[in-house]
Structure 1
Amino acid sequence: MVHKDFACHYSPVFQAAFNSSFIEGQTQEYRLQDTSEIVVRVLINWFYTKKVDVEALGFTGESIKTAYYETRFISLVELWILAEKLLIPELQNMVIREFYRLKLAAMIVPTSCFHAIYEDTVVGSPLRRLCVDICVVYLKHSVYRETADQIPHDMFVDLVARFSSLNRMELDINIEAYQVAEQ
């Protein structure tokens, strides 16, 4: 439960819903669909503190490092998508910074959340662009084949476009490198 004034102050979606003749305006209740309870708690905490509590975003027990971080990456993605739906760009920007900080701390590329990002965001969204740039900068070329099932088709298209936009080195093509060995 959150005070209506806080919710309405930060989200024009809440402002419109609570101050209308819609059911939310009549009941003064708003149900968030397709969002985990933990992400809703982090959102409510953000309303009051303006901080994203990453530690609250995942399980607290001992775990394998990768699972520990991936749980948080996925929750941050869910929080960013919720902030987008609620039109809270300040929270989206904070989540982007936290996502990148977590990537640097984890020293992994969060491939497990790419499908969720590409299913629930629009073409050119900042979260998509960040993930593409993370791959361009940090992902080894061999990993693309190894994790191809974790990379959505549209992301491959974005990756190709991003790689193509980079400054190209002068490449002297040695045609001999493309010849089939003859007996």
Structure 2
Amino acid sequence: MTTKAPEPANSEPKSSSSPPNVVVMVRLDTHTEEGRLRSFWVSESQLCDVSPVFKAAFQGRFLESREKSYRLEDTSPSTAACLVNWICTRKSFLHETTENRNWQEYYLQLAHLYVCASEYLILDLVDLLEANFICSLRTNLIMRQPNFHPGSLCVDVIYGNTPPSAKLRKILTAFYAAHAPSPGIYADANLRAIMTDCPDFRDDVAAALEKRKRDPYKQRKRGPVTKQYQNDA
């Protein structure tokens, strides 16, 4: 997934800024799978405060600064809605009830939002989603939820759209290394196929397993799940 560079404007930049205390709204555009336009309105100041990418686009000499719109490439309307919700409220969807939650859909939604936040350098949201991911794993382990582990679709999104340095990659592989003996973890045929098709994921899990073997403490006592994944990552 590649960030769209702001398009240069053909005309001269604006000679005056908006009056103080006036809320300027800008439009974020995305498209459905059928190609229909879906737009979200958000305060320009809020958007620029959280992302240097948006700040450069809306406050620089670019077409976006004149048209007050930005197209979110490769971002679904549902992910864009979660992004705008966080920008306006600074709360993620983790605060919704966990009752009857489809955890595979939740992990997948979190992964897509993480990719989007990373792409536009929204670092506060990136940090929050990493913490949410760990807390969700911990909650499911304590509650012994069935099918609680992040599945193949989540792994595919993360490894297909983030750099090797992404912390969520490390959290994910630390989780699989910590629970390698669990029969349900690797029962997913799609996950085994991804390990074959995605050498980076396979190698990262192998490296995390080797790291645990070299550390007798981690074999003897797993400790709190949250600390465990944070330390391993």
2:166 aligns with one of 121, 125, 138: 125
Structure 1-normalised TM-score? 0.79
1:32 aligns with 2:72: yes
Query: More deviation in 142-151 or 104-113?
Result: 142-151
Which residue is equivalent to 1:173?
Answer: none
Q: Structure 2: which 5+ runs fail to align? A: 1-40, 142-147, 217-233
Which residue is equivalent to 1:177?
Answer: none
- Contact 1:111–1:150 (Cα < 8 Å) also in 2: no
Structure 2-normalised TM-score? 0.63
Matches within 5 A, 1:167-182: 167=214
Which whole-Å CA distance do the structure 2 matches of 1:92 and 1:10 have between them?
11
Q: 1:105 to 1:42 in 2, by over 3 A?
A: same
Which residue is equivalent to 1:148?
Answer: 192
Which residue is equivalent to 1:7?
Answer: 47
Q: Runs ≥4 in structure 1, deviation > 4 angstroms?
A: none
Matches within 5 A, 1:79-98: 79-98=113-132
SS in 2 for 1:30: strand
C-alpha displacement at 1:20, in angstroms?
1.9
Q: Structure 1: which 5+ runs fail to align? A: 170-183
C-alpha displacement at 1:83, in angstroms?
0.7
Q: How many residues align?
A: 162
Structure having the larger proportion of residues in strand: 2
One-letter amino acid of the counterpart of residue 102, structure 1 = S
- Contact 2:158–2:169 (Cα < 8 Å) also in 1: yes
Which whole-Å CA distance do the structure 1 matches of 2:92 and 2:194 have between them?
27
Which residue is equivalent to 1:44?
Answer: 84
**Identity rate, percent:** 25
Which residue is equivalent to 2:107?
Answer: 73
Which residue is equivalent to 2:206?
Answer: 160
Which whole-Å CA distance do the structure 2 matches of 1:33 and 1:119 have between them?
15
Which whole-Å CA distance do the structure 2 matches of 1:3 and 1:168 have between them?
49
1:100 aligns with 2:140: no
Structure having the larger proportion of residues in helix: 1
Give per-residue Cα distances to partners, 1:30-85, cap 9 Å, x unaligned: 111211212211211211221102377xxx9x6xx6xx111110110111111111
Which residue is equivalent to 1:174?
Answer: none
Query: More deviation in 10-19 or 142-151?
Result: 142-151
One-letter amino acid of the counterpart of residue 54, structure 2 = F
